[in-house]
Structure formats: C-alpha cells, structure tokens
Chain A
Amino acid sequence: MTVSDAPPIVSTRFALDNGHTLTGYLATGGYEGLRAALAISPTAVGEEVKAASLLGRGGAGFPAGTKWGFCPPGVWPRYLVVNGDESEPGTYKDRLLMEKDPHQLIEGVLIASYAIGAAQAFLYVRGEMALAQERIAQALNDAYAAGYIGKNILGTDFSLDVVLHWGAGAYIVGEETALIESLEGNRGMPRLKPPFFPAAKGLYLQPTVVNNVETLANLPWIMTNGGARFAELGAETSRGMRLFAVSGHVVKPGVYEVEFGVTTFRDLIFDPAYGGGLGDGRSLKAFIPGGASAPWFYDEHLDLPLEAGAVGAAGSMLGSGAIVVMDNTTDVVKACWRVVRFFARESCGKCTPCREGTSWLEKVLRRILDGEGRPDDIALLLDVCDNISPGIAWPPKQTTICPLGPSAVSPIASALVRFRDEFVALCGGTGESPVAITGKAYLPKPNEVAGV
C-alpha cells in the first residue's frame, strides 16, 4: 500500500502560529478563492463545485453541489447555515479548522453564499468551544473591517452578513433540522423529513443550505485550483482529501489529512506517519471507522480504502472521519455501554423507540457490567435494537424521526456478534437470540460462521 503524497488542502495552516489571523491568512493565499469566485457567475461557481464532486464532510456524505441545486428556484430569501456543532464521539476536525484557520471557513461561507444566492449566513458553533468562538469572532470582525464581509464585498454587488451563533450543549443539534430549530430559538429537536428537506424549507421555512465546516473549508482551494484538479484526487465517489481523527489505542493519535481512496485504514492506523501502530505486544480487537454511530470494523477490514462506496459495501461508513482504535486489552462490553450511554443521554426524547429504547439498552448493559446480567439479556438487547432499527441492517432502517436512535444499535450489534463470549461470560446462558441481524459488518467472518 502506498500512502499518497498529495499535499494537504484544508490543514495547510494548522502548524502556523498566525494562520488564524487575517495577516497570516492573506500571506498564505487567503481570499484568493473568493476573488476567483466573484469573477465568474454564481452558476459557474456551482458548476465548479459539482465538478469537484465534493462530498459533505458532516457525516452523511451528500454531494455539496447537488445539495445546493435543491433550493427551489425563485424562492427568496435563502440562507446558509454552517454546522459547527461537532460532537460525534471520536470526531475532532471541525474544531481545529475553526480555531486554526477561521478565515478559510469564512471564505468558504462567502463562496457558497455567493453561489446559492444566500442573503445571510449563520455560523452555528458548538457552545463548549470557547476558543473557536473567540477566534471566529475576531476573524469576522477583521474580515468586516477589510471589506471581505458586509455590504458590496470587494467592490462587487455581492453583499452578505455572516452571523456567529453560539450553541449550548446538545449533540442532537448537529442533526441539520434540529440545528435549524435551535437557531430559531427552540429546543433542538429534529423535524420530520421528508417531505421537506432544509434546502426546500429550512430556517424560517425558507430554502436553507446546511453544510459542515470541513465541507466549506474546501471551497477556497477548489475555486483557486479548479474543481477538476480536486476531482483528480481520491477515487470512485470520494474525491479530494479528508481529515481523519485517529484516536484510542494507537501510538500516535492525531488528526491527519489524507487522500481519499488510495489511503487505507491500515495506513492510518499503522503507518509511522499517522497512527503509528498499537502499543508493544498489542493486537487489534476492533476499530470504529466513522464515529460512534458507525458499525465496528475488524482486522479483515484494514485494507479497505478510505472511500465511501467501499466502506458502505462492507457494512459501515466513513461518517465523520473518526477512527477509534481498540486493542486486545479493551473491555468491549464496557466500550459498548459507554457509546450507548452517550446516545441514551443525547436522545432528544421526541420518538418513543429512541427515548425508551436507548435508555433501556443503557440500563441493561449497565447491569451486565455490574455483574447482574441475566441469561436472556443478550436476546433482550437485540430485541430492543430491532424495535429501534428493524432487521438490524445497514444502512439502518428506522422507526424514528432521525438517525440518532438507530445509531445506538451499531455498537451493540457490533460487540454482541463478534465478542458474544464476553457477554455470555457476564450473563450466562447460551447467548442465542431469535432476532435476525442483517448488517454486513455485524456478521461473523465467513470462516467463523460454523463456530457461532
């Protein structure tokens, strides 16, 4: 496996002391992408982004150019809302982009707003990120003063206010319709969709594009270098570069920007340039390939490329670019419980299968850990999972309004199938369950089927 030598796109200023200042930004090519965008028509900017095949970096991986095209024609005003709520366990990239290179994000916001005709943009930043709030506030103030934001930007007829908005601590607000509710001053509860997606009816029921921080941070580069050059990087559906956070049991945890498609999980976890492998004498037990919501992967998945299609076909997702590595010392029952507790705590409470289901899953796992597991607890866990996400499939089917409920199923199905003996040791019984599990990554390795 060769690791690509493509230069980074969004992380070029991470190592600079002054990359977050306007002076530092301008000295390193800052706002050139905006100038390039303003020199062509909004439609041409949209075409450039389509040519780049830029996939959303927030989790769902929807092509940005296509999403922009969903705004119904002739309906005004339109809004751009930036999703800077980063809270998926294992995920750490948007905060870096906001703290270390706020102008790059702002430039991306300006380019996107120009293209879609947004007359106002809101930067929704997770409340707990005080430094990101401060850096973005400063960057916005400086950009206003220098004429990059506000009325008649750089002397053109393009005008835009960018408003920094503070979150206040709620994971579910990262879901785009909950984000919009929150921005309207409400409890952050997702809206039912379909029929209406935010591009049609979003903020104040107006057409609204919600994009992730990293998605937008790619736009200045795409405008200066062209969509075609961006699309030359990566493979299949996943083009360009992506930030991956490698955490857990690796020698060198870190956030690495690598080329999609040619880089593999093995590279990211074991290459000395990235994760650097596991500790002495340790072996890999499992890894989460795309944030806490993703089904777990194992040894046999290490050589999969970092490419949405391949990872999806294997039964999981690249999600939010969060790789959590668990070595052989990991107590998987505990790990599973901790992820499920997260979803139970963060459920917004709007739908019964999620609100009740996740809290019961958490309670049952807790009693298993406390030595009070019962022989039929494994079947019970899977039964509750099946009620939240029928068939325990991938992509998950849902009985809920948003994907948070089904997300709690991933760690349980992953841990229960592969490490069933660890649960049986705590619960007794046979570990058998009448519930069908169909998600590919959840199933045992083909050559192990006989033993189950």
Chain B
Amino acid sequence: MPRFTADNTILAHEIITRYPRPKSALIPLLHLAQEQDGYVADDAMEHIAELIGVTAAEVLGTCSFYEMFKLAPVGEYLVNVCTNISCLLVGGEELLHHIETRLGIKSGHTTEDGKFTVEDVECIAACTEAPCLQVNYRYFSRVTPEAADALIDDLLHDRRLDEIPKHGVLARTRQQIPAATRAGNAVPGEAEEPVWIRRARAEVSP
C-alpha cells in the first residue's frame, strides 16, 4: 500500500523544512504522493499526516477541496478541455464533444484501457489562444478537431513522453535550496527585526 518510498520520504522531509510550520507543506506533499502513485492513496494521506503532525482527517479535508487531487486512479493522460467564456465563444464546447466522441467517454470518465480521462474544466489562463486544452497540465492552443485527433493518436502510442509525462508528474524541475546559501525560515515567535531594517533605522537616527 502506497506510503512514500524511502527516496520520497527524504524529499518530503526536505520540503517540510522550507516552511516555518510543517502543515504548510501539506499541498506540496499531496502533489508528491500523486506523482508517486498517480492518485492520492489513503495510506499516503496517513503518511503525510505523520510527517507534518496532523490527523489523517485533516489531510483528507484539505485534499478533497482541491480539483487537482484525485482520490482514485485516473487515466495516464488527463485531458482537460476549457469550456469557459473565452473558449466557449470560439468552439470550446464543440472541441470537448469532439474529444468525448473520439474517446467514447463523457467528461469526468476514464477510458477502459486506463489511458485517458477527460475533464470539462474552468479557465486555464490561455484565453487568447482559445479553444485550448491541457494534457497532464501541458498546454495546447487553438486546437482544431484535426489537431485534437492527431494529439490523441500520439498519446495512444506514448509518442509525446518527453513533452507530456504521465499523469501525476507535475513539474520535472524542483526547487533546490542549497544549505550553504540558505537564509533560513522566518518562524513566528522566533524572528526579530531583520538586520537590514535595523541597520537602516540606525543610520537615520543614530
């Protein structure tokens, strides 16, 4: 049952240390769990709860609020089609229907082979490039039905892996804060007036 692997546990600890309070790492850790397993498993939530010192119910409470976290496995490719206003005006709904028909599923569902999940989503901040969609959160702009078909053909054969990692992997570049140059967390109750502020104040009224 999917708790964090040894490597991911190390990474989880590292993420937690970036925040003044461990609970702030909750959402990043849920992303890490989803990256590992493709969805957020119950055991992963328990593991996160142990790591940041809250109850598993609190983890679920936060997790269930956010659209991106899936509590059950979804397709390898999550196809999110925007049908909000700017896209609606130039064919977003038609694009969604085309993709639903092509894949034989309604939005919110996954194909039987576990390859695709389709979602009808809200604005994805690509409004001037409408109609648009995302596959695993990678953008495709001004998508015609033909372009959608070609994209699906590619995905069926995993031909775009360098561009679109399988579902779960959010960002392939991680922030690294080197210990040597780290300024350190500003913890409530512990931090004093920053030195540069104190110095500047002293310069004005010595």
Residues of A within 8 A of B (CB): 41-43, 74, 76-79, 86-92, 94-95, 114, 117-120, 126-131, 133-135, 137-138, 140-141, 144-145, 147, 149-151, 156-161, 163-171, 182-188, 204-206, 245-249, 253-255, 288, 292, 322, 324, 326, 330, 334-335, 338-339, 342, 345-346, 348
A246 to chain B: closest residue by CB: B128
- Interface hit among B5-13, B110-118, B150-158, B192-200: B192-200
- Candidate in B28, B88, B178 with the most chain A CB atoms within 10 angstroms: B88
Contact yes or no, B196 A156, CB < 8 A: yes
A184 to B20, CA, bound (A): 10
B 105-133 to A, binary, CB cutoff 8 A, 1 in contact else 0: 00000000000000000111111111000
Contact yes or no, A77 B122, CB < 8 A: no
Contact yes or no, B200 A92, CB < 8 A: no
B61 close to chain A: CB less than 8 A: yes
Contact yes or no, B125 A324, CB < 8 A: no
Contact yes or no, B173 A137, CB < 8 A: yes
**Which secondary structure dominates chain A's binding surface?**
mixed
Contact yes or no, B84 A342, CB < 8 A: yes
A129-B125, A131-B139 as given contacts; A324 in contact with B86, CB under 8 Å: yes
Contact yes or no, B125 A86, CB < 8 A: yes
Contact yes or no, A249 B90, CB < 8 A: yes
Closest chain-A Cβ to B51's Cβ sits at a distance in Å of: 12
Contact yes or no, B128 A76, CB < 8 A: no
Question: Per a CB cutoff under 8 Å, which of A119, A171, A245 touches B194?
Answer: A119
Question: Per a CB cutoff under 8 Å, which of B85, B139, B187 touches A89?
Answer: B85
A156 to B126, CA, bound (A): 40
- B residues 51-79 in Cβ contact with A at 8 Å: 52, 54, 61-62, 65-69
Closest chain-A Cβ to B176's Cβ sits at a distance in Å of: 5
Question: Per a CB cutoff under 8 Å, which of A134, A137, A160, A253 touches B130?
Answer: A253
Question: Per a CB cutoff under 8 Å, which of A160, A163, A338, A346 touches B175?
Answer: A163
Count of residues in B whose CB is under 8 Å from the partner chain = 71
B24 cross-chain contacts in A, Cβ below 8 A: 165, 183-185
Contact yes or no, B52 A253, CB < 8 A: no
B192 cross-chain contacts in A, Cβ below 8 A: 76
Closest chain-B Cβ to A124's Cβ sits at a distance in Å of: 10
Contact yes or no, A150 B85, CB < 8 A: no
Show 16 A/B contacts (Cβ-Cβ < 8 Å), sorted by A: A76-B186, A77-B186, A78-B186, A88-B123, A128-B124, A130-B138, A134-B172, A137-B173, A150-B183, A163-B175, A163-B177, A168-B69, A184-B21, A204-B188, A338-B83, A342-B84
**Which secondary structure dominates chain B's binding surface?**
loop
A138 to B62, CA, bound (A): 28
A324 to B92, CA, bound (A): 15
A38 to chain B: closest residue by CB: B196
Question: Per a CB cutoff under 8 Å, which of A79, A128, A159, A326 touches B89?
Answer: A326
Closest chain-B Cβ to A53's Cβ sits at a distance in Å of: 24
A163 to B171, CA, bound (A): 15
Contact yes or no, A330 B89, CB < 8 A: yes
Contact yes or no, A161 B26, CB < 8 A: no
A76 cross-chain contacts in B, Cβ below 8 A: 186, 191-194
Contact yes or no, B173 A134, CB < 8 A: yes
A91-B123, A130-B136, A288-B85 as given contacts; A117 in contact with B193, CB under 8 Å: yes
A57 to B175, CA, bound (A): 26
A131 to B130, CA, bound (A): 18
A422 to B185, CA, bound (A): 58
A77-B186, A151-B183, A184-B23 as given contacts; A117 in contact with B65, CB under 8 Å: no
A160 cross-chain contacts in B, Cβ below 8 A: 183
A91 to B21, CA, bound (A): 32
Question: Per a CB cutoff under 8 Å, which of B21, B54, B125 touches A204?
Answer: B21
A119 cross-chain contacts in B, Cβ below 8 A: 183, 186, 191, 194
Closest chain-A Cβ to B167's Cβ sits at a distance in Å of: 12
Contact yes or no, B23 A161, CB < 8 A: no
Contact yes or no, B123 A144, CB < 8 A: no
A77 to B193, CA, bound (A): 7
A249 to B86, CA, bound (A): 8
A129 to B138, CA, bound (A): 8
A130-B136, A247-B128 as given contacts; A89 in contact with B191, CB under 8 Å: no
A185-B24, A248-B89, A345-B122 as given contacts; A117 in contact with B197, CB under 8 Å: yes
A156 to B129, CA, bound (A): 44
B99 close to chain A: CB less than 8 A: no
B203 close to chain A: CB less than 8 A: yes
A334 to B84, CA, bound (A): 11
B134 close to chain A: CB less than 8 A: yes
A45 to chain B: closest residue by CB: B200
A334 cross-chain contacts in B, Cβ below 8 A: 88
